Amino acid sequence: MHQIVIEYEGALRTRATHLQSGNEIITDAPVDNHGKGEAFSPTDLVVASLGSCMLTIMGIAGERRGLDLSGTRTEVEKVMGTNPRRISGIHLNIYFKTNFSDTEKKILEKAAYSCPVHQSLHPDMNKIITFHYPKI
């Protein structure tokens, strides 16, 4: 069974439907690649997936230890390369609302790097990941 069905709607737009939930995601080609840029581009979804995956895996690690990661956010910037046109870099900043002990920080950061999306990206892709904790 297919988990996601994607339909091309024309005008460089697709609609992806998650069959289990019925949720949909629209993509548009970016303005710099003949599109309208009215929605996430497919490459935007790649970098958004990385940020979401890291937060999710850290959330799992945190829940196992009674750590509350509520309010933690990720800001992601994608760097596009040419020849071939591809994602050449990702700058990802993770901002925590809560400060943690040095041991807890190591656990959370190790969890983030172990996320399946991070493990799936090519090792040559430049990934700059920075963890920001509140000042004490």
Mean pLDDT, residues 76-94 taken together: 95
Q: Check residue 1 and give its pLDDT.
A: 64
Tell me, yes or no, whether 23 and 61 share the same domain.
no
Tell me, yes or no, whether 22 and 54 share the same domain.
no
Question: pLDDT digit string (tens) for 27-60?
Answer: 999 998 999 999 999 999 999 999 999 999 999 9
Percent with pLDDT over 90 in the chain = 94
**CATH code of the domain in which 52 resides:** 3.30.300.20
SS (HEC) of the chain: CCCEEEEEEECCEEEEEECCCCCEEEEECCHHHCCCCCCECHHHHHHHHHHHHHHHHHHHHHHHCCCCCCCCEEEEEEEEECCCCEEEEEEEEEECCCCCCHHHHHHHHHHHHCCHHHHHCCCCCEEEEEEECCCC
Q: What is the span of the domain harbouring residue 24?
A: 4-33
Number of domains in the chain: 2
Q: Check residue 81 and give its pLDDT.
A: 93
Q: Check residue 100 and give its pLDDT.
A: 96
Q: Check whether 5 has a pLDDT greater than 70.
A: yes
Tell me, yes or no, whether 48 and 97 share the same domain.
yes
